[in-house]
Amino acid sequence: MTSRYLPLALFLVLVVMAAAFGASFPAGDWYVELRKPYWTPPAWVFGPAWSVLYVLMALAMWRVWITGHYVRVGALIWWLIQLGLNAAWSWLFFGLNRIGWAMAEMALLVVFVILCIKAFSSISRLATWMMVPYLLWLLFAFALNVTIWDMNGGGAGLFYFD
């Protein structure tokens, strides 16, 4: 019975590692000074939202894994790639202050999340639906990233924002 929950523990550890990596790049003064749209959520929203999304991501991958389905390894690869891209966004946006690069990277992240959801859909309907809130949040975050990029000059120049 405990072997059934060992993968869940591993997936939870992986999302915690991704979250911790992302959290190691605080917004800082440069972010506060950026022009942002009126629909930017308050800072306190991000912690709870991401906590729920990371738990759902881990649970979704676990649901896929415990099926024993022969394509679960492929689904795991898509999941790991999107998790790595998820963590990389914080490094690009907050760590390097590269709004444009983060925007491009998030577009790639959205594609990999869609590929992950597609892989999950052939294995577990529940796991598929568990990933949908994450995709919706990413689409919102992408729109926010694009708008912040545009409001602060846009163009290739903001790829090297300091």
Q: Where are the alpha helices (DSSP H) in the chain?
A: 2-23, 28-33, 43-66, 72-90, 99-121, 125-151
For the cut 90, the answer to whether the pLDDT of residue 159 exceeds it is no
The whole domain housing 31 covers 2-160
For the cut 90, the answer to whether the pLDDT of residue 156 exceeds it is no
Determine the pLDDT at residue 133: 98
Q: Count other Cβ atoms within 10 Å, centred on residue 53.
A: 21
**Predicted confidence (pLDDT) per residue in 78-106, tens digit:** 999 999 999 999 999 999 999 999 999 99
Distance CA 75, CA 65 (A): 9
Q: State the burial class of residue 26 (Cβ atoms within 10 Å of its Cβ: 0-12, 13-18, 19+).
A: exposed
Mean pLDDT of the chain: 93
Instruction: Give me the CATH number covering residue 138.
Output: 1.20.1260.100
How sure is the predictor about 161, in pLDDT bands with cuts at 50, 70 and 90?
very low
Determine the pLDDT at residue 103: 95
Total domains in the chain come to: 1
